[in-house]
Amino acid sequence: MSDSRIVTVVDAKNKTFLFNFKELIRYKDLFYYMVLRDVTVMYKQTVLGFLWAILNPFFQVVVFSVVFGTIAGIKTGIDGLPYPVFSCLAIIPWNYFSSTFSASSNSLVNTAGVFTKVYFPRLIIPMVPIFSKLVDFFISLIILVLVMGYYQYTPGSNWYLFLLPLLIIILSSAGLGIWLSSLVLQYRDFRFAVNFLLPLLLYAAPVAFPALKVKEKLGNTVYELYALYPMVGGIEGFRSSFVQNADFPWTLVLISGASALFIFISGAFYFKKMEKHFADVA
């Protein structure tokens, strides 16, 4: 009788440049089920379920519109653009970034009991939230349609360009998630740093104000350096895609895109370097 057992050989000397794509493809079913589990667990035993993906940005838009649009009197910088539409076009991509940033950063710590016992590509773990949170992102676009409908605001003709800034946000989220998941696993202090950083990153991003304010107040050089923060090009590009008579901010998008790519590649290098130590520090 022949032995039909499947033997998996784990080679510690991974000679691939960044990722072992053949291995990742081999575990694609596991990745799919982990993403599906992440989505279902998120709203399990909740009364409103996926409605939270709409209610959360709705209340944020209300608060931002009252605090920054009415009380602080911040202008959108674009004629005919209501502040609630302006803020909604920034809050939706920001929520995706912040949720993936937090979930990916803590992913290795939260699943240490699994990957220390069963072998599969560790990179799958911080990448799961990057894809599972896209469900919330696309559901939350419903609130954008409702807000635009309420103010009778028609999207601009460049709406399809939103995919480019969305790619920048996904790339930067994945890069930061890979970086921080490794650091949090080794140095638990970074777990608290993540909670500390998120509000600061929100205030620094052009969510409540247009990025052009930076150019007006601090000059073009600072404006371009500001775009090294990937969410600047991500948010401004996403917002400009839907706004009427607005020039697409190619300079910001290209700078932020290059920065996001650097974060992703450097994070992948660090993850690959430290992966062999994960089981020891988990």
pLDDT: is 88 or 156 the higher one?
Answer: 88
Report the percentage of the chain scoring pLDDT > 90. 60
Angle at 64 between CA 62 and CA 66, to 5 degrees: 70
At 7 the pLDDT is: 52
Break the chain into its structural domains and give their ranges: 47-281
Model confidence band, residue 14 (pLDDT cutoffs 50, 70, 90): low
At 274 the pLDDT is: 84
**Mean pLDDT value across residues 24-35:** 88
**Mean pLDDT value across residues 56-76:** 94
* 170 contacts: CB under 8 Å, gap ≥ 6: 130, 134
H or E segment and range at residue 260: helix 250-274
- Mean residue pLDDT across the chain: 88
pLDDT 10s digits, 191-220: 888 888 999 999 999 999 999 999 999 999
pLDDT surpassing 80 at residue 21: no
